[in-house]
Amino acid sequence: MELIDYPTLKLLWWLLVGVLLVGFAVMDGHDMGVGTLLPFVGRSDIERRVIINTVGPHWDGNQVWFITGGGAIFAAWPLVYATAFSGFYWAMLLVLWALFFRPVGFDYRSKIDNPRWRSTWDWGLFIGGFVPPVVFGIAFGNLLQGVPFRFDANLVPYYEGSFWQLLNPFGLLCGVVSSAMITCHGAVYLAHRTEGVIQARAARWAQACALVVLAAFSVAGLWLARGIDGYVITSAVDAAALPDPLAKTVVVAPGAWLANYARTPAAMLVPAAGYLGFVLALLLVRGGRTFAAFWCSALGMAGVIGAAAVSMFPFVMPSSLAPDASLTVWDSVSSHRTLFIMLVATLVFIPIIILYTRWAYSVMRGKVTAAYVKENSHSAY
């Protein structure tokens, strides 16, 4: 355990949680993007079956990133987990209810050859793909504005907002950014795995969504710079101390979310990666280079998510109600031993997950066609 000191472990887990969130966005995100596009790109039953079969064999494996990310937050940042699930309780339930449509929709959609039955599940898969990214984006937007929570003397969190307060203009704008980038990523993947009219429609959606991401991300950045106050720790911070979120002084200051970029200009590479990734994805998918476009889209998502993280660092969950109670990288974590044991487990299992995922995708690579679905009507989705 002494091999890595406590402050370094805290930083490593900030990075690892970010990696897991980006992994979830890239891997489960393209599944959700395909689900969002299903009722619009697929014009007939056979076209929609082709679309579903591009992600059908993989979507449940990709959920591992979602589960792992949630588990990492629970174990590494227990105060963040407890406070977030108190404050965002109904939002998280909305995500879970939407996700219920995915396993049932994939498994039952094609079991009955009835247009109304299949159309109902198509819209269920749309809900399961569209709602979670929007809610996650709204949650990030509210984190940047500060969440109305406080702690009592026993560090019991109290949330004093409501679900409807989350649906503020900036939060909704961040929901647009999140939904557009996930849909763009799904459209690029769909263009890579299909051909003909489905591929052409998916490519058009990818280009349109990339433009929406670039525009909405720019507006959100300007809004954050000029209209939303950030948080600053003004007291001394002992990075090696045991977690105590009430043992610091925090002030709210205009432009504070941009301070990290002023202190470390190299940090500008993170949002720049967001712009570069989606610009390249747009150009590459237009030129038919869909595989490269997929990874450029992934780079863009990493840049967008990373930009929010860099702006907020070291804050993880700022409090608008009691700024001193804001949760940071230094005071919301588990014990030294817990972080070290989790790090060892992560370094063992994440490479296994990546290698298995790579193998699974290589086995099922290639285009999904209408002929394939018709020839395998009983085994295909």
pLDDT tens digits for 187-223?
A: 999 999 999 999 999 999 999 999 999 999 999 999 9
Per-residue pLDDT, 127: 96
Token digits of residue 3: 């091999």
Give the mean pLDDT of 230-242.
90
Of 75-79, 143-147, 292-296, 359-363, least confident by mean pLDDT is 359-363
Query: In a 3-state reduction of DSSP, which class is residue 177?
Result: helix
Per-residue pLDDT, 284: 96
Task: Give the integer Cα–Cα distance in Å for 90 and 166.
Answer: 10
pLDDT at 1 over 60: no
- Report residue 379's pLDDT band, with 50, 70 and 90 as the boundaries: low
Q: Which one has a higher pLDDT value, 3 or 30?
A: 30
pTM over 0.85: yes
H or E segment and range at residue 217: helix 196-227
Token digits of residue 336: 């030294």
For 54-108, write each residue's pLDDT tens digit.
998 888 888 888 888 888 898 899 999 988 888 888 999 999 999 999 999 998 8
Q: What is the mean pLDDT of the chain?
A: 91
For 220-231, write each residue's pLDDT tens digit.
999 999 889 999
Query: In a 3-state reduction of DSSP, which class is residue 318?
Result: coil
Per-residue pLDDT, 241: 86
Task: Give the integer Cα–Cα distance in Å for 337 and 6.
Answer: 9
pLDDT at 302 over 90: yes
3-state per-residue secondary structure call for 127-175: HHHHHHHHHHHHHHHHHHHCECEEECCCCCEEECCCCHHHCCHHHHHHH
Other C-beta atoms lying within 10 Å of the C-beta of residue 167: 14
* Contact (CB, 8 A) for 206 and 187: yes
Token digits of residue 369: 């066609």
Give the mean pLDDT of 299-317.
96
Task: Give the integer Cα–Cα distance in Å for 279 and 211.
Answer: 8
Per-residue pLDDT, 243: 85
* Contact (CB, 8 A) for 24 and 178: no
Task: Give the integer Cα–Cα distance in Å for 266 and 257.
Answer: 16
Give the mean pLDDT of 274-281.
97
Task: Give the integer Cα–Cα distance in Å for 194 and 367.
Answer: 5
Per-residue pLDDT, 62: 86
- Report residue 336's pLDDT band, with 50, 70 and 90 as the boundaries: very high
pLDDT at 2 over 80: no
Q: What is the DSSP code (8-state) at residue 267?
A: G
Token digits of residue 380: 């295909």
- Report residue 378's pLDDT band, with 50, 70 and 90 as the boundaries: low
Of 125-139, 227-241, 276-290, 364-378, least confident by mean pLDDT is 364-378
Per-residue pLDDT, 380: 61
* Contact (CB, 8 A) for 16 and 72: yes
pLDDT at 377 over 80: no
